[in-house]
């Protein structure tokens, strides 16, 4: 289905054509007509499936078709400032040939930025893309008028709840008019999301796009090692591969900082991204990485969702993600736009069971790397879980670090 079949306004179609969009993705084919009807919507779709355009395009078309005062017409609530900035940039591309205006509103910025936000929110802007805490701060000051707000979007709703924004979201909703159309987009649908939907939405249309697995173009591998071997192995991998664009995910900002320091000692082109870095510095680092002026970016999960960076050659998971969905999001940073990519996960001695759950979730056993002999002894991969009768069930044990099964090896590669 092409974008010219949705009944969008001519001005919006001109922007869509200029960007080069032609055919809609599955989430766009289902969500756009639903939003155009004016009904509330709850949609489950993984990051990278085109869901941002699935709500921006129909909302923009409806704003163009029903011009009104300069009051705010749409609010998009997102979990991170990076996602707010990216959605605003995408919105500017779509609306280039229209009169629809937008502004990102997020915390972690200096006083002058807050004042600029206050001025725009007071004088009127069509669409606000915001983080919950910052938007609530503006609302409490009394100058933001939402009486004409027609659309509310909760994007990455599961992430919003994971980050503790439930109370802020409920508070923001008390400022909304009753006839506001509400949309909730989430990569997963845990119980908490269903509860939020029941509280916030009215007789919503439901759309579920099956959670996709990592693209077949992604070469997935796992390195089963001791925690003390992780950093030396990463250094070895980086020296061997010499790739242009590499992203390394760590579970905490402390690990992110430490690994970045170690890699800088090797005079590698590397920088870090986490919540302790101020907004201007984060934007500068991200822009350098996108422009290939920076080869290696070490980051927390702040960049695993909603950030569109193409042509990443290699993803390294320093830690096994806590959730299988987070593994999908991390690995999904590579092999985008029909390219190929590689993802390597370092499985520490306490991570076997968690990685086994990920393998079950994605429906395949991830190839296990043969660790060079110079790294010494390595643990055997032995993911286990307790079955319902409390008996332990082995998923994939066997000889240490020899790959996915116990078949004899046919190469001479040294192994642990």
Q: What is the pLDDT along the chain (416 residues), one digit of tens a residue?
A: 999 999 999 999 999 999 989 899 999 999 999 999 999 999 987 766 788 999 999 999 999 988 777 789 999 999 988 889 989 999 999 999 999 999 999 987 667 889 999 999 998 899 999 999 999 999 999 999 898 899 999 999 988 988 889 999 999 999 999 899 999 998 777 788 888 888 899 999 999 886 666 667 788 999 999 999 999 999 999 988 878 889 999 988 899 999 999 999 999 999 998 878 877 788 888 889 988 899 999 988 766 665 667 678 899 999 998 878 778 878 876 755 445 789 999 999 999 999 999 999 888 899 999 999 999 999 999 887 554 444 444 444 344 444 444 333 333 333 45
Coil, helix or strand at residue 413: coil
Q: Which residues pair with 43 in a beta bridge?
A: 185, 207
CA dihedral 61, 10, 208, 338 (to 10 degrees): -130
| 399 is a domain residue | no
- 223 and 202 both lie in a single domain: no
Q: Is residue 184 part of a domain?
A: yes
In terms of phi and psi (left: phi > 0; alpha: psi -120 to 50; beta: otherwise), the region of 142 is: left
* Cα separations in angstroms, 157 against 76, 165, 214, 357, 403: 11, 9, 21, 23, 37
CB 221 within 8 Å of CB 345 = yes
Do 178 and 223 belong to one domain?
no
Is 414 inside any structural domain? no
Residues 46 and 166 in one domain: yes
Indicate if 244 and 119 belong to the same structural domain: no
Question: Which of 208, 241, 256 marks a domain boundary?
Answer: 208
pLDDT of residue 398: 41
169 and 97 in a common domain: yes
| 233 lies in the same domain as 348 | yes
Cα dihedral angle (303, 305, 309, 314), rounded to 10 degrees? 70
What is the domain extent for residue 82?
3-208
For position 136, which CATH number holds? Answer: 3.40.50.300
- Residue 402 placed within a domain: no
Place of tokens 């009904």: 39
Distance CA 99, CA 115 (A): 23
Same domain, 172 and 229: no
Shared domain for 144 and 242, answered yes or no, is no
- What is the spatial distance between Cα 245 and Cα 274, in angstroms, rounded to a whole number? 18
410 falls within a domain:
no
What SS3 class is residue 43? strand
Inter-residue contact 365 to 404 (CB < 8 Å):
yes
What is the spatial distance between Cα 312 and Cα 283, in angstroms, rounded to a whole number?
Answer: 18
Interatomic CA distance for residues 45 and 371, integer angstroms: 36
Query: Do 160 and 225 lie in a common domain?
Result: no
Task: Give pLDDT, residue 361.
Answer: 86
* pLDDT at site 306: 54
In a shared domain, residues 57 and 197? yes
**pLDDT at 81 (0 to 100):** 87
Assess if residue 406 is contained within a domain: no
Phi, psi angle pair for 222, to nearest 5°: -135, 140
Instruction: Please report whether residue 189 resides in a domain.
Output: yes
| Whether residues 196 and 283 fall in one domain | no
Which H or E run includes 186? strand 181-186
Q: Angle formed by the axes of helices 81-94 and 51-65, to 10°? A: 50
Q: Angle at the Cα of 293 (from 292 to 297), degrees rounded to 5?
A: 75
Number of domains making up the chain = 2
Residues 183 and 242 in one domain: no
Point out the domain boundary residue: 178, 208, 238: 208
Residue 412 domain flag: no
């Amino acid at each position: 289905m092409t974008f010219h079949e949705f009944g969008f306004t001519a001005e919006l179609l001109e922007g869509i054509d200029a960007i080069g969009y032609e055919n809609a993705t599955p989430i766009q084919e289902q969500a756009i007509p639903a939003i155009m009807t004016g009904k509330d919507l709850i949609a489950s779709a993984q990051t990278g499936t085109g869901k941002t355009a699935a709500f921006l395009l129909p909302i923009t078309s409806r704003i163009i078709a029903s011009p009104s005062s300069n009051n705010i017409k749409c609010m998009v609530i997102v979990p991170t400032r990076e996602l707010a900035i990216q959605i605003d940039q995408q919105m500017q591309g779509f609306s280039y040939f229209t009169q629809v205006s937008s502004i990102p509103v997020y915390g972690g910025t200096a006083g002058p930025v807050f004042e600029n936000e206050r001025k725009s929110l007071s004088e009127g802007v069509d669409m606000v893309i915001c983080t919950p805490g910052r938007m609530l701060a503006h609302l409490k000051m009394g100058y933001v008028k939402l009486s004409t707000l027609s659309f509310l979007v909760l994007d990455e709703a599961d992430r919003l709840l994971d980050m503790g924004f439930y109370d802020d979201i409920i508070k923001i909703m008390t400022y909304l008019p009753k006839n506001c159309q509400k949309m909730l987009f989430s990569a997963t649908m845990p119980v908490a999301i269903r509860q939020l939907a029941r509280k916030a939405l009215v007789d919503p249309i439901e759309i579920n796009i099956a959670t996709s697995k990592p693209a077949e173009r992604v070469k997935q591998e796992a390195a089963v090692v001791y925690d003390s071997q992780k950093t030396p192995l990463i250094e070895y991998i980086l020296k061997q591969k010499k790739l242009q664009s590499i992203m390394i995910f760590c579970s905490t900002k402390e690990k992110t900082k430490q690994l970045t320091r170690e890699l800088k000692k090797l005079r590698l082109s590397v920088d870090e991204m986490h919540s302790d870095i101020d907004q201007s510095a984060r934007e500068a680092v991200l822009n350098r990485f996108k422009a290939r002026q920076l080869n290696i970016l070490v980051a927390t999960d702040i960049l695993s969702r909603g950030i569109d960076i193409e042509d990443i050659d290699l993803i390294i998971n320093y830690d096994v993600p806590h959730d299988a969905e987070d593994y999908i999001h991390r690995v999904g940073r590579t092999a985008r736009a029909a390219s190929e990519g590689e993802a390597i996960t370092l499985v520490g001695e306490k991570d076997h069971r968690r990685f086994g759950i990920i393998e079950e979730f994605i429906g395949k056993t991830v190839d296990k790397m043969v660790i060079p002999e110079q790294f010494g002894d390595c643990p055997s991969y032995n993911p286990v879980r307790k079955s319902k009768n409390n008996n332990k069930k082995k998923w994939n044990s066997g000889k240490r670090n020899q790959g996915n099964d116990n078949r004899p090896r046919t190469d001479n590669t040294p192994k642990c």
